[in-house]
Structure formats: structure tokens, C-alpha cells
Structure 1
Amino acid sequence: MKLFSIWSIIFIFLSLLSFGLNLLLDGYFEPIALIGGIFLLIGVILSFIAITKKENGKIKFISLASFFIILLLITWFEPFQVVRIMTWLINISQLLA
């Protein structure tokens, strides 16, 4: 059963859609970028779960490789996007504390 592998690739695809939507929209929308980052992290976590459960297939490795490729492309083309997401998370954590 490849349940975690399939869900990991779905979340990686959702993160790509979210980051692509953020690029297409005029301006910068932090919630969309944050949702894309969360989807990306969920996809990687599910990929690691699939690897530890030794699921059949190579989809788990494709989603894990795409995580690093997506992060490379984000930092290459929009390096300040990572800084914006981190400051947004810091502001949220200060509001919750």
C-alpha cells in the first residue's frame, strides 16, 4: 500500500500550486506563501513516513527530491520570500505567547 507516498506527492503538488499562485498574483500575499510552506513540510514528513514504512515504489523518493528542488528554486528566484515567512511566523508566535 502506497498511501503515504501518494499523499506526500499530493501535498508537494499543492505547495507548488500555492507558490505558483503567489507568483502569478500582483503583489505578495504572505498567507498563500505560508500555506505553500506548510504543504511542502507536510509532504516531506509523509515522504519520510513512507520511507520508514518501506512502501513499494519510487514516488516517496520523487517527493523527497522535489522538496529540495522546490526550496532551491524558491531561494534562487525569490530569496526574501523565506525571510518574509520566517518573520511572519515570529510575529504569530509573539502574539500567541
Structure 2
Amino acid sequence: MRLTAKILKKPITSALIAIVCGFLVAAVVLAAAGYNPWQAFGALFSGMFARPKYISNVLIKAAPIILTGLSVAFAYKTSLFNIGAEGQYIVSA
């Protein structure tokens, strides 16, 4: 097996590639809208990690989305089709 195929089969590698691609798409969209992507990403991360209060706010707001994704992933892993993810998100929020 080729080295690149082995590397891409690791879950952490595919997750990192997805994150990098997401940042690249966001940078292209920001640049097309006339904003500086580096300033936007800098403001995002400095605002998010400036104080412990802000980190807890991010975690509180992200928890329902993370748990909804976990419920959908569990349903798909057990070969079930879950159409109630939106309702689960609304009830948990």
C-alpha cells in the first residue's frame, strides 16, 4: 500500500484535512467579500480565547450541536435513520 493511502486512512488525518479545507473555503469567501481573512481569523481566535468566560460561553453554545451530532452518528452507526435531529437540537437548547 502506498504511503499516502496509509496516511489518509488515519481518522486524525482526515479530520485535520477537513478543518484545513474549511478554513480555506472560509478564507476564499472572506476575500471575495472584501475582508482580510487573516484579520478575521485573528479576531475570531483572540475573541474566543481572550478570557475564561469566553471559552465557557463557546462550550455552552456548542454543547447542543455536539450532542445532536453525536445522536445522529450513533443512529447511523446502528443502521437506523434518524429524522428527529432538528427536534432533538431544539429541545436540548
TM-score scaled by length of structure 1: 0.32
- Greater C-alpha radius of gyration: 2
TM-score scaled by length of structure 2: 0.33
| More RCO (CA 8 Å, sep 6+) | 1
Looking at secondary structure, tell me which structure has more helix per residue.
Answer: 1
